[in-house]
Amino acid sequence: MSDAHGGRNTGFVGFGGAMIWQRRMVLCIGVLVFTAGCGSNTTKTPELAAESEMDDRQYLLERIDDVSIAQIYADGFSALPLRQKVLVWHLYNAALAGRDIYYDQRYAHGLEMREVLEEILTHSNRLGAETRDAIHRYTKLFWLNTGPFNNLTARKYVLDIDPAAFQVAAHAAAEDGAIFPLKEGESLDDLLTRLEPMFFDESFDPIVTNKTPVDGSDMLLSSSNNLYDGVSMEDVASFDEQYPLNSRLVKREGILQEEVYRINEDGRYANQLREVVRHLEAAVPFATPEMAAALNALVQWYRSGEPTDRRAYDIAWVADQSSPVDTINGFTEVYMDARGAKGAWEALVYYVNQEKTAAIQTLADNAQWFEDHMPWDPRYRKEGVLGITANAIDVVVEIGDAGPITPIGINLPNDQSVRESYGSKSVSLSNVTEAYERSRPDAYRNEFAWDDDEAARSAEWGSFAGELTTNMHEVIGHASGQLSDSLQGNPQAFLKEQYSALEEARADLVALYFIADPKLVEIGIVDAEHHEDIIGAEYESYTRNAILQLRRVREGAQIEQDHMRNRQMVVHWLMDNTDAIEQRSREGKTYYVMVDRNAFRDGVGTLLAEVQRIKSEGDYDAAYTLFESYGIHFDPTLRDEVVQRVSQVNVPSYTGFVMPKLEPVVDSSGEIVDVIITYPQDFTQQMLEYSGKR
Ligand SMILES: [Zn+2]
């Protein structure tokens, strides 16, 4: 499972809902999903903030309509021991070697279309600027989304020029030396005619994954991905599928066949997988014994394609809990398949961010201290509480289903039987969320801050405070508290539809309460001199979010999503019951202004005690009243104002990333003596390089 981005500081509220930019399933289950799980996920260490050189570097590279492109940085890479750098280098090549698989899975014509576009772009001397720009713009979207379908809406988007102008451009490129992917006996005009509906017709193959066809059509036949060819749900129902995760199902002369993704004569993607395996095998000697076992198991699965080998790989991968470098490489997430069976190929290579992982571990190690100091009735305090841990990681490269558009949190493997018997691994992608946070327009932050001080605090400490709060929410929030002796059974059964929002509120309140505790300084998670700013930044951001998040509910005057209800409830309860927050207006704009940190924290403690009581006692009526009063209903006039202000500051719908680039330094004997990391800051250049055009 993987989680889409949900930076709370800007009003994203985790997952579920219109602003989710990924097609991936998103969830907050507290236990399995780490930082990404329940809200914001941002990263900025005090050290980083102190280094102006890093502060000034470029995160946001360009905007295409409502899309941002940002650079990912992996600062820790250079400090890795050589052996780990070389390991990453081979895994990076294994990732790049599989890139075309996902293009093909996502659309049968995807690779051909990409080739046409890239050949025109790299032979564009004779093209008029207008035509070239239109093609370039479309190609960027094509690279970002790995084909002609928008990753948010699953809908097709088309090339916005005249087909005739495209034809002229292709011929001009051909005269400049472009080589097009012609089939046997095909002319360039034949090729362009054949691909015309793919490039220009919105109604041809209109949707990549159609899970809920409105017109009663078949969800596989009406999905335009290449996981099936001519196969309906009815066909599948009576078919004995041997390779549900790693095959394409095709219907030939009325007979279903599985084209298995594996390395043998008739294996689909055999050529790409052979290259992937070559690099994986080169990586093995540099891996820890646990990781080497996992890599060998992966190679075996790519060779045989057998589900038993996939399971062996999952088990070996989960068993490796401590290697400083790791990779995810395989047919993994099933969100692209309307049936939820076929795995999309992806690869990520990353190393553990030791400093951030240590901070998470420190919180977990002190879980009992926090429990003993919870501001609720001692009867609801738990003995022997264990914090929840996960690794904070920095990615070096993400390919296929994982890039250029990436998740921010991942929990694998997906095989439930492996999870139950062997556990799982959770990672939170620190440098990805950092890039998200730092690539956001300042105007967005500033628009809702009352004054320059608040905006400056947010710019400097918002990310750090947000990440810390999210960590506490997950590590000590959800894990805390116990039920009343008199409550028989699961509180979920008593609290019903109020349960999730209440539980999210509880975890948020734990974080908001303890972020202001000197204990954080004592255990070394925050610096004493910055603690006040961090508290202020977090309380202000949490407060602002209550109006900001209204932009996501464009219809009606009621909030449905649990995380949003929770955050509305907390802020409006504080507004009604404390002097911590004032509603102000200036020039027709509304602001929620956090004016008193102590009152905020005291209020949070009081509310947290009540929320815990409600959970521990299963008090449905109290939960109902709390959310009815503060969490569900809002003023649509305020929402309309927020929507308008947000659109003026041009918030991106989604973000794609330029990955770091690695290059080996080789001595005269051919030995790799170092691996250099650089940051290309040029999306087009990187995509062309990946395609072998530069
Ligand atoms: Zn949560």
Q: What's the gap in Å between 31 CA and the centre of ligand 1?
A: 8
Cβ atoms of 64 and 157 within 8 Å: the answer is no
Q: What's the gap in Å between 624 CA and the centre of ligand 1?
A: 19
Q: Please give the pLDDT value at position 444.
A: 76
Q: Specify burial of residue 189 (Cβ count, 10 A radius: 0-12, 13-18, 19+).
A: exposed
Q: What's the gap in Å between 37 CA and the centre of ligand 1?
A: 6
* pLDDT tens digit sequence for 615-627: 999 999 999 999 9
498-536 as b/e: b if 16+ CB within 10 A: bbbbbbbbbbbbbbbbbbbbeebeeeebbeeebbebbbb
- Phi, psi values for residue 374, rounded to 5°: -65, 140
Q: Please give the Cα distance from 520 to 526 (Å, whole number).
A: 6
Q: What's the gap in Å between 386 CA and the centre of ligand 1?
A: 16
Q: What's the gap in Å between 470 CA and the centre of ligand 1?
A: 8
Cβ atoms of 75 and 394 within 8 Å: the answer is yes
Q: What's the gap in Å between 651 CA and the centre of ligand 1?
A: 25
Q: What's the gap in Å between 501 CA and the centre of ligand 1?
A: 9
User: Can the peptide bond before residue 413 be classed as cis, meaning omega within 30 degrees of 0?
Assistant: yes
Q: Please give the pLDDT value at position 43.
A: 33
Q: Please give the pLDDT value at position 48.
A: 39
Q: Which residues of the chain have pLDDT under 70?
A: 1-55
Q: What's the gap in Å between 563 CA and the centre of ligand 1?
A: 8
Q: What's the gap in Å between 423 CA and the centre of ligand 1?
A: 20
| Residue 432 Cα distances to 7, 80, 409, 658, angstroms | 11, 19, 10, 10
Q: What's the gap in Å between 107 CA and the centre of ligand 1?
A: 35
Cβ atoms of 656 and 68 within 8 Å: the answer is yes
Q: Please give the Cα distance from 96 to 404 (Å, whole number).
A: 12
Q: What's the gap in Å between 507 CA and the centre of ligand 1?
A: 6
Residue among 693, 691, 692 nearest 103 (CA): 691
Q: Please give the pLDDT value at position 318.
A: 93
Q: Please give the Cα distance from 608 to 610 (Å, whole number).
A: 5
Q: Please give the Cα distance from 383 to 388 (Å, whole number).
A: 15
Q: What's the gap in Å between 562 CA and the centre of ligand 1?
A: 10
- Scanning 261-411, the segments in alpha helix (DSSP H) are 270-283, 289-304, 307-319, 354-365, 367-372
Q: Please give the pLDDT value at position 2.
A: 67
| Residue 389 Cα distances to 379, 381, 386, 479, angstroms | 26, 20, 9, 11
Tokens of 612: 């815990």
Matching residue, tokens 């955050």: 567
Q: Specify burial of residue 678 (Cβ count, 10 A radius: 0-12, 13-18, 19+).
A: exposed
- Phi, psi values for residue 16, rounded to 5°: 75, 125
Matching residue, tokens 């989680």: 3
Q: What's the gap in Å between 39 CA and the centre of ligand 1?
A: 7
Q: What's the gap in Å between 506 CA and the centre of ligand 1?
A: 9
Output the DSSP codes for 385-422: ------EEEEEEEEEETTSSS--SEEEE---HHHHHHH
Q: What's the gap in Å between 49 CA and the centre of ligand 1?
A: 27
Q: Does pTM top 0.85 for this prediction?
A: no
Q: Please give the Cα distance from 188 to 200 (Å, whole number).
A: 17
The helix (run of H) or strand (run of E) holding residue 491 is: helix 491-495
* pLDDT tens digit sequence for 51-89: 444 557 899 999 998 799 999 999 999 999 999 999 999
Tokens of 606: 């009081």
Q: What's the gap in Å between 500 CA and the centre of ligand 1?
A: 9
What is the three-class DSSP state of 252? strand
Q: What's the gap in Å between 504 CA and the centre of ligand 1?
A: 5
Q: Please give the Cα distance from 473 to 37 (Å, whole number).
A: 10
Any idea how long the chain is? Answer: 694
Q: What's the gap in Å between 463 CA and the centre of ligand 1?
A: 18
Q: Which residues pair with residue 397 across a beta bridge?
A: 349
Ion ligand 1: residues, CB < 5 A: 28, 30, 38, 504, 507
Other CB atoms within a 10 A radius of the CB of residue 131 amount to 18
Q: Please give the pLDDT value at position 22.
A: 29
Q: What's the gap in Å between 564 CA and the centre of ligand 1?
A: 12
Q: Please give the Cα distance from 496 to 562 (Å, whole number).
A: 12
Q: Please give the pLDDT value at position 54.
A: 57
Q: What's the gap in Å between 480 CA and the centre of ligand 1?
A: 12
